[in-house]
Structure 1
Amino acid sequence: MGVLTAFLPAPGTVAALTWSTAFRTIGRGMFLPVSVIYFTGPVGLSAMEVGFGLSFAAVFGFLGGLAAGRLSDLRGPRGVTLLFSVATSLLTCGYVVVDGLAAFVLVTTLTTFTAAAEQTARSALIGVALPHERRVQVRAYLRAVTNVGLSLGGLGAAFALHHQGRAVYLGMMLGCSVCYLAGALLILRVPPVEAAGKPDDGPIRLVLRDRPYITITLLNAALSLHGGLLTVALPLWVVQRTSAPAAVVALLIMFNTVAVTMLQVPLSRGSESVVGAARAQRRSGWFLLMSCLLFALSTGLSSWVAVVVLVAGASAHVAGELFQAAGSWGLSYELAPARSIGTYQGVYGMGYQLADLLAPALLVAAVIGWGQAGWVLIGVIFLIAGALVPPVARRAIAAAGA
């Protein structure tokens, strides 16, 4: 027990956020692996219908983030986080009664909206509840907690997938909802923070006129395409273009999870300032380029040599991922006006959602369609995006001081 408590934060704001994040991500870890199988199995939807529902709902995720950011500035982020967390918990129960496409699209759209809103409000809460020098450190720590939570939830999902059956899947859905609710209620242990109030100018107009911030958001979205490398592009590449055993994909994802858990906090140091955060994202571009080149080289090799090259690529990938995340937190907070931090977080979060929408189609088309040249193209995109962050960040600093 003493070893465990050494890794836990002292009671207070960070502890409340830690346990809230843990319960929320355990629930998500339970839900994600079984959801598609449940919808295409017991519910009886086709894979295309599930894909359509998820894509349709993703559009409303953009709106959820913007709405929550605006509300967080006006009403305070703690209450908004609690509101949308509870709503997500209750709506998740709706999957229990889904019996067709219309009900699936409705429930998925509502839960996507509230989940995106909750994520934005939580980011705003961290931004105003903690001193600016601790924001990046805490976000890094919470990301490590997130990986642990997803892994623990995945164990429950593995049980469900092993035993299968409608009753087991429904148990996972309800268990997920309970975890979400527990995570929501723990937000009440975060001390209340004052609302920023209504700025003199409309907050949406304000951020849309902030061209350096919008550019930083888009560059971070380009770097965030890395999320689809391990989960979408690489599995197809390994199976179709290399002699490595397919099981290596699961090992690489497991390696990524462990590395992020162990290294996110130490590799985030120095990203608390705009300059340090921009430097981290530039490093991210180089590491992600390196990972793409190594993945490209894994074709045409003997089985074990291919595995070694893939592991090297995954190592470079996780370094790029860690630096991208650390830089994104520093930039998103430090370049946002204090009175509009929620709205700015909502807009910045749209960059991540845009990356999630584009990554599957873009990466598969490039990597599977063009082969090694596709890997090089994606790597160059990462390099250029990372290299552009520091000059744009300097422009943002100059504009803020004008």
Structure 2
Amino acid sequence: MPLLPESGPVRALTYATFLRAIGRGLFITVSVLFFKLSVGLSDGEIGLGMTIAGAVGLTAGLPAGRLADVVGPRGVQIVFSSAGAVLVAAYALVNDFTGFVVVAALVTFAEAGESTARAALVGGAVPGPDRVRVRAYLRAVTNVGWSFGGIGAGAALGLDSRPVYLAMIFGCTACYLGSAALMFRVPPVAPVARGGAGPSWVVLRDRPYAVLALLNAVLFMQGGMFNYAIPLWVAGRTSAPAWTVALLALLNSVIVTLLQVRLSRGTDDAAGAARAQRRSGVFLLAGCVVLALAAGQPVWVAMVTLIAGAILHVFGELLQAAGSWGLSYELAPPHAIGQYQGLYGMGQQVSNIAAPAVMTTVVVGWGLPGWILFGVLFLAAGLAVPPVTRWAERTRTTADQPQPA
């Protein structure tokens, strides 16, 4: 895929995605320090508040997806994106734990709804064979945008003042609003009429798809492993210097940007997507084993081992993402792409909520047995995807509607 797509829906999606990612990078980089140093919240309050917010966000995916199916995804995406922008700015008014929880819950709800509607918009605006390729390209664009936002916010953090924190938050708001405005350049996607008189919430009756969403949620926990387990493992269990964490993050970002599109080839059908997730489980198991072996090694051995483990991990990450896009689109009926994306996204949100506590307890707390346990769990989930995918395909060839639960 060229560096910048030809004019049309994908180029508009590229600009909007890049601007939103810059805003997200600005906010994520300063948010915890803002809540702690400027608002005055404790570490426990921040953690509890974000957990509550994550639980509220779980309720957004399905209704947002259903709404996108009924009225069209572009308008729904623009509304949620604009609402999220205003709500992020509301953090400037927060001065206690209660206010923090309320705003964080509303922001998370809006962002979850926006994510589902955006996925449905890609599914409707981009021809079927190109959806995965476009999602892979947009993920690379997102990665670059996060980096730009993070670098800008990181430079500003040196000043450590409330006005600087607020400037980053309002910068995020501006980026979100700009992204929403750019979405008007994407042609509207008309709702697809439902054939027959089947149920409205067809995804809730689709057993194999629900299982695939659960298996993907297990594989998606690799993100929590990278964000939480690896930094704590490096700092507490290896002799590698603390800056190794930044090196691994940079390595991850570069590989995702350069290889996500390439490793997504062949995943635009259900069988290819299932094979990608199976390979993801293998890479993630290997990465867990290698990362575990970094403990107790001399500095240079620990660093080389951590780098090797991080490379194996990122290949598992790339294949997991590519497979998830192929399966979530190819197994969804045309009239219900939104609600199917909503259910798939809910699995990933559950993973995001559970990963910090589970990863830190099992992997960092147990050491080698914890790494092996999660590696085997990743492998088992990956191996299970192809047979469940074949089950899902059979339900779509033997009946017009998925089998009821």
Task: With the length of structure 1 as denominator, give the TM-score of the two structures.
Answer: 0.97
Picking from 199, 202, 208, the partner of 1:202 is 199
For the 8 Å contact 1:84–1:118, the answer to whether it is kept is: yes
Q: Please tell me whether residue 109 in structure 1 is matched to residue 105 in structure 2.
A: yes
- Structure 2: unaligned runs, 5 residues or longer: 399-405
1:92 corresponds to: 88
Counterpart residue number, 2:262: 266
**For residue 67 of structure 1, what is the aligned residue in structure 2?**
63
Superposed CA deviations along residues 213-243 of structure 1, whole A, max 9, x for unmatched, are: 0000000000001001121001111111111
| Distance apart, 1:6 and its partner CA | 5.5
Between stretches 343-352 and 234-243, larger displacement belongs to: 234-243
| Cα deviation 1:241-286 (Å, max 9, x = unaligned) | 1111111111001100010000000010000000000000000000
1:368 positional shift: 2.0
> 2:402 — aligned with what?
none
Question: Would you say the 8 A contact 1:271–1:327 is kept in 2?
Answer: yes
Q: 1:357 aligns with which of 333, 353, 363?
A: 353
Counterpart contact for 2:84–2:110, Cα < 8 Å: yes
In structure 2, how many angstroms separate the alpha carbons of the residues matched to 1:185 and 1:209? Answer: 36
Whole-angstrom distance in 1 between the partners of 2:333 and 2:386: 19
Aligned position for 1:370: 366
Identity %: 54
Q: CA deviation at 1:369?
A: 2.1
What amino acid is the match of 1:272? D
- How far does residue 101 in structure 1 lie from its aligned partner after superposition? 1.4
Q: Counterparts of 1:203 and 1:384 in 2: how far apart (Å)?
A: 33
Structure 2 residue identity aligned to 1:387:
L
2:309 and 2:395 mapped to 1: Cα distance?
Answer: 38
Q: More deviation in 319-328 or 103-112?
A: 103-112
User: How many Å separate the matches in 1 of 2:153 and 2:200?
Assistant: 41
In the aligned structure 2, how far is the partner of 1:134 from the partner of 1:272? 7
Deviation at 1:41, TM superposition (A): 0.8
Counterpart of 1:297 in structure 2 is 293
- Give 1:201 shift: 3.3
Task: Provide the secondary structure at the position in 1 that maps to 2:297.
Answer: coil
Check whether the contact 1:243–1:306 (CA below 8 A) recurs between aligned residues: yes
Matches within 5 A, 1:315-354: 315-354=311-350
1:26 maps to which residue?
Answer: 22
What amino acid does structure 2 have at the position aligned with 1:125? L
Structure 1: which amino acid aligns with 2:65?
G
Task: Please say if residues 34 and 165 of structure 2, whose CA atoms lie closer than 8 Å, have aligned partners that are also in contact.
Answer: yes
Separation of aligned partners in 1, 2:324 and 2:6? 26
The question of whether the paired residues in 2 share the 8 Å contact of 1:34 and 1:160 is answered with: no
Aligned amino acid, residue 304 of structure 1: W
Within 5 A, what are the aligned runs for 1:1-80?
A: 7-80=3-76
Tell me if the contact between 2:55 and 2:353 (Cα under 8 Å) persists in the aligned partners: no
Distance in 1 between residues matched to 2:200 and 2:242, nearest whole Å: 49
In structure 1, what is the equivalent of residue 388 of structure 2? 392
1:20 deviates by 0.4
Contact 2:212 2:388 in 1 (8 A): yes
What is the distance in 2 between the residues matched to 1:254 and 1:309?
16
Q: 1:142 to 1:366 in 2, by over 3 A?
A: same
Secondary structure, counterpart of 1:41 in structure 2 = helix
Q: 2:379 aligns with which of 367, 383, 386?
A: 383
Task: Tell me the number of residue pairs that the alignment of Structure 1 and Structure 2 aligns.
Answer: 397
- Distance in 1, matches of 2:361 and 2:95, equals 34
Task: Kindly state the Cα deviation for residue 198 of structure 1 after the two structures are TM-superposed.
Answer: 5.9
Q: Which residue identity is paired with 1:186?
A: L
Residue 278 in structure 1 maps to residue 270 in structure 2: no
Amino acid aligned to 1:154: G
Give the RMSD, CA atoms, in angstroms. 1.2
Aligned partners of 1:201 and 1:89: how far apart in 2? 37
CA distance in 2, matches of 1:241, 1:48: 24
| Residue in 1 that maps onto 2:401 | none
* 1:244 aligns to 2:244 (yes or no): no
| 1:197, distance to aligned residue in structure 2 (A) | 4.6
1:66-122 per-position Cα deviation (integer Å, ceiling 9, x unaligned): 121010011000100011011111111101111111211111111111110000000
| Structure 2 counterpart SS, 1:8 | coil
Amino acid at match of 1:243: S
- d(CA) in 1 for partners of 2:138 and 2:231? 28
Given residue 397 of structure 1, which amino acid in structure 2 is its aligned partner? Answer: E
* Contact 1:73-1:198 within 8 A present in 2 as well: no
Does structure 2 retain, via aligned residues, the 8 Å contact 1:73–1:197?
A: no
* Secondary structure of the structure 1 residue equivalent to 2:39: coil
Contact kept, 8 Å, 1:282 with 1:387, in 2: the verdict is yes
Mapped to 2, the partners of 1:270 and 1:215 lie a distance apart of: 22
Matches within 5 A, 1:129-278: 129-197=125-193, 200-204=197-201, 206-278=202-274
| In 1, Cα distance between equivalents of 2:200 and 2:237 | 48
> What amino acid maps onto 1:229 in structure 2?
M
Q: Note the C-alpha offset of 1:358.
A: 1.1
2:370 is aligned with what amino acid?
Answer: G
Task: State the distance in 1 between where 2:208 and 2:122 align.
Answer: 23
